[in-house]
Amino acid sequence: MTKCLVTGGAGFIGSHIIENLLNLGHEVVCLDNFDAYYSPQLKGKNIEPFMKNARFKLVEGDIRDKALLNQTLDGVEYVFHEAAQAGVRISVEAPMKPHEINATGTLNLLESVLDSDVRKVINASSSSSVYGRVEYLPFDEAHPNQPVSPYGVSKLLAEHYCRVFEELYGLKSVSLRYFTVYGPRMRPDLAINIFTKAALKNEPITIFGDGEKTRDFTYVDDIVRANLVCMEKGSGVYNIGAGNSISINDLARKIIEINESKSEIVYSDSVKGDAEHTLASSEKALKELAWKPEITVEEGLERYAKWMSNSQS
């Protein structure tokens, strides 16, 4: 039985990683500060099924708390670093917070890990935010990094800290550049959740801008598999994406169709800091991790619609 720490474990992706680690028989410590960026009650609900598991422990606290980290890392062999201040739009309005949590917080974690028995850190990065301006598509890991938001800069800094700590101190790490993750328990402020919720109620679906921005939507189960593979494989940076992109307009239409909804699409002003297009090349992950996506966007949207419908009933 291996002991793992999942930072941000009460969140969307973190809670799925915990669920899978427990199912595999591992011991899991969840560190989360239950930040009010979105409902702490929802986060509590995410991890509620694990609370009676003897191999699960919840530690409520912040990755910027060095003393707490040192205690929490006792006996931990793998760290899944999901804790972050999310939100491109919020970062444009208040740039310091994502820097403090995503960059300085990651540095704080890595320093604490150096004094522990941790074998490897699996760091959750971002794709569209780190790559920023599009030079070519699909993005491969050699694509220039030109973040267009403070959030993107903070996530890129976290990657660099992981790389430097491996080069200088021998701390093994991998950074996974997720491409627009969705699925059960996803953040309520994300497009697929908002669109599906509106579709189920036959309410208007609001798109910011003209809807022609494209995204490579990746189902959470595929993301979790990549994390688990990296316990034993991989070093450096990997794109983890479905390898297919669709426009926000097409996404809304698919959701309306899947849910047999009468919703109409309406448009609002575009938002600063959002990347125009994302599309993953995950060839490096296939070659070095033997990982490839399994869930198509159509299948994923159907799964999500079913989950949301059941959760609201």
pLDDT at 313 over 70: no
What is the C-alpha to C-alpha distance for residues 242 and 178, in angstroms, rounded to an integer? Answer: 10
Tell me: pLDDT of 275 over 80: no
38 counts as catalytic: no
Tell me which amino acid residue 243 is: G
Q: How far apart are CA 286 and CA 292, in angstroms?
A: 6
Q: What domain range includes position 231?
A: 3-182+220-241
Per-residue pLDDT tens digits for 112-133: 999 999 999 999 999 879 999 9
Q: What is the CATH number of the domain that holds 173?
A: 3.40.50.720
Q: How far apart are CA 156 and CA 179, in angstroms?
A: 15
- Model pTM score: 0.96
pLDDT the model gives residue 143: 97
Comparison of pLDDT for 1 and 78, the residue scoring more:
78
**Domain presence at residue 300:** no
C-alpha of 191 from chain center: 14
Is 269 among the domain residues? no
- Separation of alpha carbons 72 and 119, rounded Å: 15
What average pLDDT score do residues 208-233 get?
Answer: 98
**Residue 156: inside a domain, yes or no?**
yes
How confident is the model over 201-226, as a mean pLDDT?
A: 97
Question: Does the residue 252 lie in any domain?
Answer: no
Residue 215, in any domain of the structure: no
Does residue 277 lie in a domain region? no
Q: Which residues are bridge partners to 267 per DSSP? A: 207
Q: Is 239 helix (H, G, I), strand (E, B) or coil?
A: strand
The one catalytic residue in 37, 38, 78, 151 is: 151
Structurally, the chain folds into a number of domains equal to: 1
Average per-residue pLDDT in the chain? Answer: 96
Specify if 198 maps to a domain.
no
Q: At what angle do helices 105-114 and 150-169 cross, to 10 degrees?
A: 20
* pLDDT of 248 strictly over 70: yes
Listed in sequence order, the DSSP H helices in 83-215 are 88-93, 96-98, 105-114, 128-131, 150-169, 191-200
In a domain, 276, yes or no: no
Residue-wise pLDDT for 169-185, tens only, equals 999 999 999 999 999 99
